[in-house]
Amino acid sequence: MAITGAQASPLASPLLHGKHEQQQNLQDSNEAVLHDMEDPQLLPVCSTGGASFYTAGASSSFWRSCLNLSNVISGIGMLSVPYALAQGGWLSLVLFALVGAVCFYTGRLIDRCMRAEESVRSYPDIGHLAFGAHGRTVIGAVMYVELYLVAISFLVLEGDNLDKLLPGTVVDLLGYRVHGKQLFVLVAAAFILPTTWLKNLSMLAYVSAVGLVASVALTASLVWAGVAEKGFHVRGGNLLNLSGLPTALSLYFVCFAGHGVFPTVYSSMRTKRDFPKVLLISSLLCSLNYALTAVLGYLIYGDDVQAQVTLNLPTGKLYTKIAVLTTLITPLAKYALVIQPVTTAIEEKLSGATTAPENKELARALTSTAVVVSTVVLACTVPFFGYLMSFIGSSLNVTVAVLFPCLSYLKIYMTRGVHRFEVAAIVGILVIGVCVAIVGTYTSLHQIIGTF
């Protein structure tokens, strides 16, 4: 059962299995674990938070696992966290800390769910263990939608930042004048499309691992901008902005999204009992970097900070080019990794009885192309990065990072004994999560619709 890069994502395998396939997977799980431990191939890991790679089987060391998990958590949320602080005001940093604490706790719940059965190796497996086939189906559907929207946000990100680097660019295309963000969305898609046709995506995982480098480069650029250019001051800074709290909360959840990949990182560890320590170290490091970026961005640009803080950096400066270029590399590499599970699921539904290799290759290319075109259309239609990320955070990240872990843990462990205090805490987290999801989703959709 040699695993290729194309199968590396924890979502790469079909999530909507039939009953026979589910039974077969459970029967073969122990053999699969033993077999995978013999395969040291590096595989990509994707999430809304970031991307990384790990060694198949239980072979990742403690510090390698810390690096992988930090790379998962530290993602494109880094760009919008200063905007989130501007939306919520300085006191929203308390909510940022609470969101981080809640996401850490739900990460611990995922760890406990993974320990419940040896056959559990991915997030959909947790759903199957807790709720059966319907659990796997629901979790699969939510994660597919999440990945699809993240792919759209990558294109919006590329368009905005390339327009920042090359302002005023205009091209005549088939009799139409294309310019600005829409032009660069098309350019980015042209470079991305061939990567979605690849069978083996493992090489892209190495490139996408620059996510941590991009995060550090962005923070360093803000320090440079504050010291050498703009200075640190607050222009119109708010202590608390109640109307902006739903947006701020949603974006804070984007920062800590990555729970869908936690089981994969857990499975890759040599010493699995160290996962809580790995989670704690990674969460603290990423939280500090997020908080520093948020405070620096808000101190420098105040209420003028944009949804992508790179758009506030002065044009033509060396540190701006470094920050923007490192920011651009990650989405270019990660797009294929993120969208591949979606295209795989579509291929399996459409292929039917098709078994000829050449037909499968053609189906893969056509499906990938159609999916890329659809994301381009939506990226050009709804080019509002902040609102899109807010919607992803409130509707999908809250579901994957808060609601599913809590519900799955209660379902799996209630019959095995859970302390009353812990049940009360989990129920409280569930209530808060549902409120954030409803209010945040309504607010972000209202903002998106209001821009048309």
Could you report the per-residue pLDDT of 88-112, keeping only the tens digit for each?
A: 999 999 999 999 999 999 999 999 9
Give the CA-trace dihedral at 276, 278, 281, 282, to 10 degrees: -110
Tell me how many domains the chain contains: 1
- Burial grade of 308 (CB within 10 A; 0-12, 13-18, 19 or more): buried
Give the model's pLDDT for residue 147: 86
Domain of 209, CATH number, reads 1.20.1740.10
Distance of CA 195 to the CA centre of its chain: 19
Element (H, E) at 242: none
**CA atoms within a 13 Å half-sphere pointing along the CA-CB vector of 292:** 16
Cβ neighbours of residue 124 closer than 8 Å, sequence gap 6 or more:
11, 15, 136, 139, 140, 143
Could you report the per-residue pLDDT of 392-447, keeping only the tens digit for each?
A: 888 888 999 999 999 999 999 988 878 899 999 999 999 999 999 999 889 888 88
Per-residue pLDDT at 138 exceeds 60: yes
Q: Which of 23-27, 51-55, 145-149, 380-384 is least confident?
A: 51-55
User: Using an 8 Å Cβ cutoff, are 293 and 309 in contact?
Assistant: yes
Could you report the per-residue pLDDT of 208-266, keeping only the tens digit for each?
A: 666 677 778 888 888 887 777 766 765 557 889 998 999 999 999 999 988 988 988 89
Q: Which domain holds residue 70?
A: 5-450
- The answer to pTM > 0.75 is yes
Report the share of the chain in percent with pLDDT over 70.
81
Query: How sure is the predictor about 180, in pLDDT bands with cuts at 50, 70 and 90?
Result: confident
Q: How far apart are CA 355 and CA 347, in angstroms?
A: 12
DSSP E strands, 86-203: 170-173, 176-179
**What radius of gyration, in Å, describes the C-alpha atoms of the chain?**
21
Give the model's pLDDT for residue 30: 40
Could you report the per-residue pLDDT of 284-331, keeping only the tens digit for each?
A: 999 999 999 999 999 888 888 998 888 888 887 888 888 888 888 878
User: Using an 8 Å Cβ cutoff, are 47 and 257 in contact?
Assistant: yes
Give the model's pLDDT for residue 429: 96
